[in-house]
Amino acid sequence: MPAQPKADPFAPGAPEPGTAGPDAEDGAQDWQLDHTRAPIATKIVVAGGFGVGKTTFVRAVSEITPLQTEALMTRASEDTDDLTATPDKLTTTVAMDFGRITLDNDLVLYVFGTPGQQRFWFMWDDLVRGAIGAIVLADTRRLTDCFPALDYFESCGLPYIVAVNHFEGTEAFEAEDVREALTVPPHVPVVIMDARKRYSVVESLLAMVAHALEATPE
């Protein structure tokens, strides 16, 4: 009996890698339909200063409707938070942002965005518990805003990378320039990204996972 030709995974109409076939439930992943397989679930924290793009980051990549705890800016917030670089910002995260993305078929990332304001920093210990690593978002107009996050992850020993969120209309800097300005250690990756674009966020998440695996190979 002649051998059957292999199906071309990239042929028109073929399911995307990491997704079930055409007869499966819409949007379901292989591991969601095969109850004998357990996905590898990991947690990543996204941190940074006020208005740096954490909510946008989670929203851009989440395959589920993200959980967001946005509240309208109040007069008290305006007196405390620097709106110079984000004059049109009307809301702020008061607890966390939460989303989920499936990578490489069986790898599920749960993404938690931390609130940026200092008055909510007391929540960080709970949010980072169980995380394999963190992404510190940086805005080159306000680099000093990410120092608290950098200091926090350095002190607790959690692997992290720095992702420079490039805002439209701002000057573009090389990753090494940002590394030098923030005195980021040589072993910590620094990447340039756009929090509005899914592919860019995915690349940042992959860089974080790779760095976490290198930092904790066991």
* Intra-chain end-to-end CA distance of the chain, in Å: 47
13 occurs within a structural domain: no
Most confident listed range (73-82, 90-99, 207-216): 207-216
26 occurs within a structural domain: no
- pLDDT score, position 206: 96
Sign of CA dihedral 21, 27, 28, 29: positive
**pLDDT tens digit string along 108-127?**
999 999 886 666 667 888 88
Most confident listed range (10-14, 60-64, 86-90, 95-99): 60-64
55 occurs within a structural domain: yes
Q: Which one has a higher pLDDT value, 26 or 207? A: 207
Mean pLDDT of 63-70: 76
Q: What is the CATH number of the domain that holds 207?
A: 3.40.50.300
- pLDDT score, position 169: 85
Q: DSSP secondary structure string, 16-55?
A: PTTB--TTSPTT-BHHHH-TT---EEEEEEEEESTTSSHH
196 occurs within a structural domain: yes
How many helices (H) and strands (E) would you count in the chain?
Answer: 7, 7
Contact at 8 Å (CB) between 98 and 45?
A: no
Indicate whether 66 pLDDT > 50: yes
Q: Which one has a higher pLDDT value, 106 or 87? A: 106
**pLDDT tens digit string along 8-57?**
444 445 444 444 444 445 666 664 566 556 678 999 999 998 889 999 99
7 occurs within a structural domain: no
- pLDDT score, position 218: 57
Other Cβ atoms within 10 Å of 76 Cβ, number: 9
**What gap in Å lies between CA 218 and CA 199, rounded to an integer?**
29
**pLDDT tens digit string along 131-185?**
999 999 999 999 999 999 999 999 999 999 999 999 888 888 999 999 999 999 9
**What gap in Å lies between CA 56 and CA 52, rounded to an integer?**
9
What range does the domain containing 141 cover?
Answer: 39-215
- pLDDT score, position 95: 53
**What gap in Å lies between CA 97 and CA 93, rounded to an integer?**
7
Indicate whether 99 pLDDT > 80: yes
CA nearest 131: which of 175, 161, 95?
161
9 occurs within a structural domain: no
Tokens of 145: 């805003």
Indicate whether 91 pLDDT > 70: no
Q: Which one has a higher pLDDT value, 100 or 80? A: 100
Domain tally for the chain?
1
**What gap in Å lies between CA 137 and CA 194, rounded to an integer?**
10
- pLDDT score, position 35: 58
CA angle 191, 192, 196 (to 5 degrees): 125
155 occurs within a structural domain: yes
Element of type H or E holding 73: none
97 occurs within a structural domain: yes
